[in-house]
Amino acid sequence: MTEITHRRIASQSGLRMHVAEAGEGPLVLLLHGFPECWYSWRHQLTALADAGFHAVAPDQRGYARTGGPADVGQYSILHLVGDVVGLIEALGGGRAVVVGHDWGAPVAWHTAQLRPDKVRGVVGLSVPHRPRSSKPPVEAMRRMFGDGFYMVRFQEPDVPEAELDRDRAATFRRLMYGASGDSSGAAAGWIAPEGGGLLDAIPEPEKLPAWLSEDDIATYVAEYADSGFTGPINWYRNLDRNWELTTAWHRAQISPPALYVAGDRDTVAVGAMHAVETMADFVPNLRRTVWLPGCGHWTQQERPAEVNDALIDFLRDL
């Protein structure tokens, strides 16, 4: 079986990043989302390596073994894209295929949009490309979903991470199960009840689904031992700032070849159906959209075989 190895790389963005990697060949960067780390790509690292690719999954800025700066302003989309471009350079230069899930998907889409010269292809899992909106996003989400919506609550200092860090094993169990295709959907939207916290809206599962074990939960807890949730939540605290910083790319197209994969029980993808259906207007080289029946939000962990097949087919066609 192909071995996954680990090392730290000094990205040209100035951040020393932990990466997990496997294989040799054309570079494929795997960008995780919230609340995850390199481990969410464990099934893809070996499959891509066996298919002849150099698969690299970093812990992104603020996460797990990479960690990050204390300054909230250092978690903008320009910093995140800079980390990806810096990794591409540190891993030999040239171009890479960037694959992103959840928050990693906007990083992948923006990397392809801002630096198409560094991107051979781009893949988004769960989160489609959304063109820049006409107004800042946080107030729009507050009006639409209320103050309890998790992205709005994450704007508060200190309180969100204190809740999620209190019992990390329970946090991962609730978040991972609650957004999966195996849940009842009762936690859809991640909206905290009035006077309560986010986790109050997401019950503890009676048992974990087949794709997620207690050992997996323990691994996530161990990976977060030193860094906690502050860095990951800082990404959300830059939502309005990202809107300001990307003015020059308002409704700009994404030119590299693209693939989109999502589960039909993923509330993120289903809730963004208009963006999915019109994505080719802004991603004109969108090769394929793949829907995975019964799959929830954790695409590459819930349906590793199907995701691996879609990725390898896309990579071989480039």
Secondary structure (3-state) at 125? strand
CB of 17 within 8 A of CB of 8? yes
> 128-132, 192-196, 225-229: which range is least confident on average?
192-196
Reply yes or no on whether the pLDDT at 156 is more than 90: yes
Q: At what angle do helices 77-90 and 104-114 cross, to 10 degrees?
A: 70
Q: Which of 32, 79, 110, 297 is catalytic?
A: 297
**Residue range 82-89: average pLDDT?**
97
Tens of pLDDT along 60-76? 999 999 999 999 999 99
Q: Sort 11 into a burial class: Cβ within 10 Å, 0-12 / 13-18 / 19+.
A: buried
**Residue range 249-270: average pLDDT?**
97
- Is 240 known to be catalytic? no
Reply yes or no on whether the pLDDT at 185 is more than 90: no
**Residue range 215-232: average pLDDT?**
98
Q: Write the single-letter amino acid at 157.
A: P
Reply yes or no on whether the pLDDT at 186 is more than 80: no
- 175-206 exposure pattern, b = at least 16 Cβ within 10 A, e = fewer: bbbbbbbbbeeebbbbbbeeeebbbebbeebe
User: Which of the four pLDDT bands, split at 50, 70 and 90, describes residue 34?
Assistant: very high
Reply yes or no on whether the pLDDT at 1 is more than 90: no
Encoding tokens for residue 103? 């928050």
Q: From CA 177, how far away is CA 162, in angstroms rounded?
A: 21
- Is 102 known to be catalytic? yes
User: Which of the four pLDDT bands, split at 50, 70 and 90, describes residue 187?
Assistant: low
Reply yes or no on whether the pLDDT at 109 is more than 70: yes
Average confidence score pLDDT of the chain: 96
CATH number reported for the structural domain that contains residue 29 in this entry:
3.40.50.1820
Domain enclosing residue 179, as ranges: 5-317
pTM score: 0.98
**Residue range 118-131: average pLDDT?**
98
Tens of pLDDT along 161-181? 999 999 999 999 999 999 999
**Residue range 300-312: average pLDDT?**
98
The set of residues, in sequence order, having a beta carbon less than 8 Å from that of 302 and lying 6+ positions away, is: 180, 181, 209, 211, 263, 292, 295, 296
Confidence at residue 188, expressed as pLDDT on a 0 to 100 scale: 64
Per the structure, how many domains does the chain have? Answer: 1
% of the chain at pLDDT higher than 70? 99
User: Cα 106–203–128 angle (5° rounding)?
Assistant: 15
% of the chain at pLDDT higher than 90? 96
- 149: which DSSP letter? B
Reply yes or no on whether the pLDDT at 298 is more than 90: yes
Q: Which of 59, 83, 102, 216 is catalytic?
A: 102
